Amino acid sequence: MLRGRGSRRAPNVLCVAQRTGSLALSRLSGWPLLTDPATPLHIREIMSADTINLTADPNRVPHPAVTGDKPPLEILLCAPRGFCAGVVRAIDVVERALAIYGAPVYVRHEIVHNKYVVETLKRKGAVFVRELDEVPDSNAPVIFSAHGVAKTVPQNADARGLTTIDATCPLVTKVHREAEIHHKRGRHVLLVGHSGHPEVVGTMGQLPKGSITLVEDIDQIEALNPPAEQALAWVTQTTLSIDDTKHIVEALKAKFPAIHGPHKDDICYATTNRQEAVKEVAPRVDALIVVGSSNSSNSQRLREVAERAGCPITRLVLRAEEIDWDAFKDIRRLGLTAGASAPEVLVEEIIDAFAARFDVTVDQVSVTVEDMSFPLPRELRSEAAE
């Protein structure tokens, strides 16, 4: 187990010069007490204090006891990692709705792509459904997930008289609005993204059929042949690989020089920051683990980024029980990060598992500090709910 969870020790600081845009490496002792009864229950179950602040605080980097009886292992902990502002908001939406309306509260699709979070919310009274026809006629609210939904979904809910709450990430909503504006200006929209992902389904569902085309890779661009008089615009899914998207957009601009793009990149700040941290760590380690669910797009992209950065062993795991220990038996340096929908408690679990087999020291590599936050939907804010 990790040392220092029952108390806060004076940190042994190597370097804590964390500022936006700079790189910092820190080794400190002390770790938050997630089992402290004074900590709110939902925080203890889903997230650590790190994720409440939307950044991995270097004052809370774990420092397990070194015994000398096990092989040494240095863990380079990527920062930022874990929950982003949109995920925190979405989870808070479910928590707040349960507090106001009581159980059950229905959620269309997974609120975020993390099975641990979903199962925790299920135990509290959230009922997850694939489609609205699974929701009975009642006063119980229906929450739309952080990934966003097509326009027909809230329209169908309104037609049934259902109470709805929209937990769509504001950065996804930004992409929806961009697509709508381009459509109103007579432009055909090209959406760079992955087919079947809920965010892509939701974005394509903002416009009439035939008004938006999905582009998944550069090869598809060659086959695009819109009418010569048709103006074009591009938007992207928010959780893509930065590098892959850059190449696709460059190819779009090369083929369609007059194409319009967003004023600000659609790939969200959290996706960008987590990928940059992995790029910094991956070349330095023998293996890298991404904590996250297999259906999490941003988690999968982190694993791919690590591979491309030259890390010889990369794995995406949700829990410590999924680790293939044979693959890690000879490593001496491990990189560790978490997707934007993965709670910090699962990162701790992975560190605990390695500390049981290795003499572990933990260094944190930080590329920026995040301070983004989003307000709850108006109907769930304290003054509106009372």
Catalytic residues: 199
What is the Cα–Cα distance from 26 to 74, expressed in whole angstroms? 13
What is the Cα–Cα distance from 50 to 47, expressed in whole angstroms? 8
Q: Which of 277, 355, 239 has its CA nearest to residue 77?
A: 277
For residue 137, what is the DSSP state? S
Find where tokens 């090209």 sit. Answer: 190
Q: Are 238 and 231 in contact (CB under 8 A)?
A: no
Return the beta strands (E) in the chain as ranges: 24-26, 72-79, 105-108, 126-129, 142-144, 164-166, 187-192, 212-215, 231-236, 287-291, 313-317, 333-338, 359-366
Report the phi/psi class of residue 109: left, alpha or beta, with left for phi > 0 and alpha for psi in -120 to 50: left
What is the Cα–Cα distance from 235 to 254, expressed in whole angstroms? 16
Cα distances (Å, whole numbers) of residue 359 to 5, 64, 205, 353: 17, 8, 51, 11
Q: Are 109 and 145 in contact (CB under 8 A)?
A: yes
- Distant-in-sequence, close-in-space partners of 313: CB < 8 Å, separation ≥ 6: 286, 287, 288, 327, 328, 331
Q: What tokens does 312 get?
A: 């010889």
Number of residues that make up the chain: 386
Return the beta strands (E) in 216-257 as ranges: 231-236
Q: What tokens does 328 get?
A: 């890690």
